């Protein structure tokens, strides 16, 4: 996670310390480790919810194949969001992880 005037830190560190995400933050989601032997496919699900996302027609929740081990997102909408990553090998989901992304107001 990055923001002007601060050094980068992980979202997990921030949430464990009791932090609340605000608008206009850049989030770089990444696969820290994976014990599945390559080759495999990488899918990401970014879930946006809330009134602002609805009013801008930006509700998200689709699962998209990217094959990238990083996924850049921004904190544009207040509310309880989440990101999931799926590892698919031979047509079967063999690994999955999720992180909640709570974005507060103010």
Q: What sign for the dihedral angle of Cα 64, 69, 75, 81? A: positive
Q: Which pLDDT tens digit goes with each residue over 56-72?
A: 888 889 999 999 999 99
Q: What is the pTM of this model?
A: 0.84
Count the domains in the chain: 1
Q: Which pLDDT tens digit goes with each residue over 82-105?
A: 999 999 999 999 999 999 998 887
pLDDT at 39: 97
**CB contact at 8 A, 29 and 99:** yes
Q: Is residue 5 part of a domain?
A: no
* C-alpha–C-alpha distance, residues 44 and 96, integer Å: 10
CATH code where residue 23 lies: 2.60.40.10
Q: Is the pLDDT of residue 21 over 70?
A: yes
Q: Is the pLDDT of residue 30 over 70?
A: yes
Query: Domain range spanning residue 50?
Result: 11-103
Q: What is the mean pLDDT of residues 30-49?
A: 95
Q: Is the pLDDT of residue 29 over 90?
A: yes
pLDDT at 79: 84
Q: Is residue 3 part of a domain?
A: no
Q: Is the pLDDT of residue 106 over 60?
A: no
């Amino acid at each position: 996670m990055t923001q002007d005037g601060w050094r980068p830190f992980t979202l997990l560190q921030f949430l464990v310390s009791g932090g609340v995400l605000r608008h206009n933050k850049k989030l770089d989601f990444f696969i820290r480790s994976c014990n599945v032997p390559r080759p495999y496919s990488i899918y990401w699900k970014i879930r946006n919810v809330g009134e602002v996302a609805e009013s801008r027609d930006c509700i998200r929740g689709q699962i998209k194949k990217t094959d990238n081990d990083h996924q850049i997102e921004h904190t544009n909408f207040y509310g309880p969001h989440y990101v999931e990553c799926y590892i698919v090998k031979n047509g079967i989901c063999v690994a999955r992880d999720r992180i909640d992304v709570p974005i507060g107001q103010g």
